[in-house]
Amino acid sequence: MLRTSNKHPIQYWVPNAKYSLHSVVSGLRLDQGRSDRALILIGDADEWTKAEVCRRFAERIAAEDQAGQLVLRIYPGATHAFDAQGSMRTYAGHPIKPDPVATADAWNQVVEFLHQHIGP
């Protein structure tokens, strides 16, 4: 997850540094009155971090009139760590399926997000 704010130009949080594009949303709240922004990139087949949790989070943010502070992109068929290299495998009982199309789009989303919020 990428977050930006006036105080800290960019905060980059990765639950597992090996996989750089997945994110976890658990009780996260964007601070009202600040310029926080969040980017969530997740696969709808992610068994660890459910896309539905992220969707509900986005709906909550929108209900609080902060919809412009959050970008949520859900990739159909993409699993947890969809940006992993190699072939499909199972890790801790969960599928890891590399998805080059989702990975390419996710990197474009990250670049666009950073350009919009901290500049080129």
Q: What integer pLDDT is reported at residue 34 of this predicted model?
A: 52
**Per-residue pLDDT tens digits for 104-117:** 999 999 998 888 87
Torsion of CA 80, 3, 102, 84, to 10 degrees: -50
Residue range 46-103, pLDDT digits in tens:
998 889 988 988 888 888 877 677 889 999 999 999 999 999 999 899 999 999 999 9
Query: Considering its fold, how many domains does the chain have in total?
Result: 1
φ/ψ bin of 11: left (φ > 0), alpha (ψ from -120 to 50), beta (otherwise): beta
Containing structural domain, residue 89? 2-118
What pLDDT does residue 75 have?
Answer: 97
The model's pTM: 0.71
Identity of the residue numbered 93: G
